[in-house]
């Protein structure tokens, strides 16, 4: 997960490196075409973003207590479906023209707040941050922030509470979303702060040490320990 956020930050740095290739979001509906480099980096960013629920759940399912393996089986499959749905909707969207579908929306239709657009491009947002947009359908079949958040939120049930940092990260995204009055600029700002959140994984063993009962180290709980205490000994 930390690696995916780091890659997003590298993509943002590459976008900022050439500000002349970015357009003010108020001019997004002009006839100015999105530069090829901008479009490719934006598409790469969205590809990673829609894989993040799977990456988070994958990590929670394969760490901590053994119960996590069965507890997160369904959420993990749903996160895979989430990513595949995004891919399918995007492929369909680029295969049709904007005039042939009532589901394609422009940024102006959402007062420049959404990420769905009739073109894939990164703009200067209204609050001075990067705002990604992608040419995908605005329909019931389009993966959105609600499904993204619900999948991510499942991590609070991981034991031990290592998934708590992911839940806190989701809270920060919602905070930025409210602070920026619903603008999807919150996504680019959150990715920057998301790297800082992973410091929690470094200091957590010292601030909140895991109890033996939560760590899964109890040999009887795992079924791998000796049964000497429960097995009667018979004299020869």
**pLDDT score, position 93:** 81
pLDDT tens for each residue of 179-211: 777 788 877 787 766 666 666 666 766 766 656
Q: Kindly report the number of other CB atoms within 10 A of residue 235's CB atom.
A: 3
Choose the weakest-confidence range: 78-82, 129-133, 202-206.
202-206
Residue 10 placed within a domain: yes
Strand 121-124 and strand 116-117: the pairing is unpaired
Q: Report how far residue 125's alpha carbon sits from residue 132's, in angstroms, rounded to the nearest whole number.
A: 9
Q: Report how far residue 51's alpha carbon sits from residue 145's, in angstroms, rounded to the nearest whole number.
A: 13
Residue 186 placed within a domain: yes
More confident residue, 30 or 50: 50
* Angle (CA) 29 30 31, round 5°: 125
Q: Report how far residue 33's alpha carbon sits from residue 24's, in angstroms, rounded to the nearest whole number.
A: 13
Contact present, 122 and 130 (Cβ < 8 Å): yes
Mean pLDDT computed over 6-21: 88
Domain count, the chain: 1
Residue 235 placed within a domain: no
Sequence-distant (≥ 6) Cβ neighbours of residue 44 within 8 angstroms: 11
Choose the weakest-confidence range: 63-72, 127-136, 199-208.
199-208
Tokens of 141: 């079949």
- DSSP three-state, residue 116: strand
Residue 109 placed within a domain: yes
Contact present, 81 and 117 (Cβ < 8 Å): no
pLDDT tens for each residue of 206-236: 766 656 555 554 443 344 444 444 444 444 4
Task: Supply the mean pLDDT for the chain.
Answer: 76
Is a pLDDT exceeding 90 seen at residue 101?
A: no
Q: Ranked by mean pLDDT, which of 1-15, 43-57, 166-180 comes out on top?
A: 43-57
Question: What range does the domain containing 37 cover?
Answer: 2-230
**pLDDT score, position 122:** 92
Q: Which residue shows structure tokens 């749905």?
A: 85
Q: Ranked by mean pLDDT, which of 14-23, 151-160, 171-180 comes out on top?
A: 14-23
Q: Report how far residue 28's alpha carbon sits from residue 45's, in angstroms, rounded to the nearest whole number.
A: 19
**pLDDT score, position 217:** 46
Long-range contacts of 62-65 (CB under 8 A, 24+ apart): 63/158, 63/162, 64/158, 64/159, 64/160, 64/162, 64/216, 65/159, 65/160, 65/214, 65/216
Residue 236 placed within a domain: no
């Amino acid at each position: 997960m930390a690696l995916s956020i780091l890659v997003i930050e590298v993509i943002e740095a590459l976008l900022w490196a050439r500000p002349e290739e970015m357009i003010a979001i108020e001019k997004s509906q002009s006839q100015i075409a999105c530069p090829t480099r901008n479009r490719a980096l934006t598409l790469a960013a969205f590809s990673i973003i829609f894989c993040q629920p799977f990456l988070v759940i994958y990590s929670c399912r394969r760490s901590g207590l053994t119960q996590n393996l069965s507890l997160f089986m369904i959420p993990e499959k749903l996160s895979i479906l989430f990513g595949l749905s995004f891919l399918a909707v995007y492929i369909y969207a680029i295969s049709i023209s904007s005039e042939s579908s009532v589901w394609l929306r422009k940024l102006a239709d959402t007062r420049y707040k959404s990420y769905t657009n009739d073109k894939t491009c990164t703009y200067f947002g209204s609050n001075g941050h990067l705002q990604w947009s992608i040419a995908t359908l605005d329909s019931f079949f389009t993966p959105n922030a609600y499904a993204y958040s619900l999948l991510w939120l499942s991590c609070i049930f991981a034991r031990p509470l290592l998934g708590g940092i992911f839940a806190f990260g989701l809270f920060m995204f919602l905070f930025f979303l409210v602070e920026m009055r619903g603008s999807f600029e919150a996504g680019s700002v959150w990715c920057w702060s998301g790297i800082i959140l992973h410091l929690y994984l470094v200091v957590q063993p010292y601030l909140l040490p895991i109890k033996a009962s939560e760590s899964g180290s109890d040999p009887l709980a795992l079924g791998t320990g000796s049964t000497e205490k429960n097995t009667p000994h018979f004299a020869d």
